[in-house]
Amino acid sequence: MIQLTVNGVQHALDIDPSTPLLYALRNDLQLHGAKFGCGLGQCGACTVIVDDRAVFSCLLPVSAIGNRAVRTVEGLGTIDHPGTLQKAFIEHQAAQCGYCIAGMIMRAQALLDRTPHPTEAQLREHMEPNLCRCGTHMRILAAIRQAAGLVDDSTVGSARPDTGASQ
């Protein structure tokens, strides 16, 4: 039996110890936020937080988690009451197709948990592992800046939701 604590809830799962955490989350716990992208640790769509660190859940066997707490995007808020980052992502319309967004939010959450007011350089370096094929990185960064209460001084090329309805 594999013991997992996900978003504060304990689970006992009868699964192979080398099952990647992502499969346990999606197939056994019906938490479909984290996505399967590349399966190689190259895209970040599967990113969740394990013991306050952002990790690729597609490459982490459930047996290696031990008593570390797992957090997924579902743990940050609900549709009616989105969390701070989720709200900022909605306000900035940071999702195009949305496939990468759960991973983006969780990687950003890991940063803000440890560094509530990161510098622009810290923010960009931290977010580097996660890719968005639609290219909404500028909106994603703007959303994280808003959630972190940072002044958005890199407006070049970034689309703000209040600059026109046609964007």
Partner 1 sequence: MKRKYIYFAAIAVVLVAGAIALGIMWEPSIAQVQPPAASSFDSQLKIDGARVVALGDCAVCHTAKGGAPFAGGLPLATPFGTIYATNITPDPDTGIGTWSLEAFTRAVRRGISRDGHQLYPAFPYIHFTRMSDHDIQATYAYLMSRDPVKATAPHNKLIFPLNFRPPVAFWNVMFLRPGERAADASQSAEWNRGRLLVDGLGHCAACHSPLNVIGGEKSAQAFDGGLVDGWDAPPLNQLSNAVAPWTQAQLVTYLRTGRASEHGAAAGPMLPVTLDLATVPEADVQAIATYILSIQKPTSPSAEKTAADATQDAASPNVQRGAIIFNASCASCHGSGSPMQTIGTRPSLAFSTAINAQTPRNAIQMMLGGIPWHGESSINYMPAFADAFNDDQIADLASYLRSTYSKRVQWNGINDTVLKIRKENEAR
Contact between 128 and partner 1 per CB under 8 A: yes
Contact between 75 and partner 1 per CB under 8 A: no
Query: Which range of residues in 34-42, 80-88, 147-155, 156-164 is near partner 1 by CB under 8 A?
Result: 34-42
DSSP-assigned letters across all residues of the chain: -EEEEETTEEEEE---TT-BHHHIIIIIS---SS--S-SSSSS-TTEEEETTEEEEGGG-BGGGTTT-EEE-GGGT--SSS--HHHHHHHHTT--SS-TTHHHHHHHHHHHHHH-SS--HHHHHHHHTT---TT--HHHHHHHHHHHTT------TTPPPGGG-TT-
Contact between 89 and partner 1 per CB under 8 A: no
Contact between 97 and partner 1 per CB under 8 A: no
Among 7, 19, 84, 93, binds partner 1 (CB under 8 A): 19
Question: How far apart are CB 47 and partner 1 at their closest, in Å?
Answer: 11
Q: How many residues bind partner 1 (CB under 8 A)?
A: 23
C-alpha to C-alpha distances, 62 to 46, 65, 76, 160, nearest whole angstrom: 14, 6, 22, 40
Among 4, 60, 104, 143, binds partner 1 (CB under 8 A): 60
Q: Which is nearer to partner 1, 11 or 160 (CB)?
A: 11
Contact between 1 and partner 1 per CB under 8 A: no
Question: How far apart are CB 18 and partner 1 at their closest, in Å?
Answer: 4
HSE value, Cβ hemisphere, 13 Å, CA-based, for 5: 7
Question: How far apart are CB 62 and partner 1 at their closest, in Å?
Answer: 8
Q: Which spans of this chain sit near partner 1 (rule: CB under 8 A)?
A: 17-20, 39-42, 50, 53-56, 59-61, 63-64, 66, 121, 125, 128-129
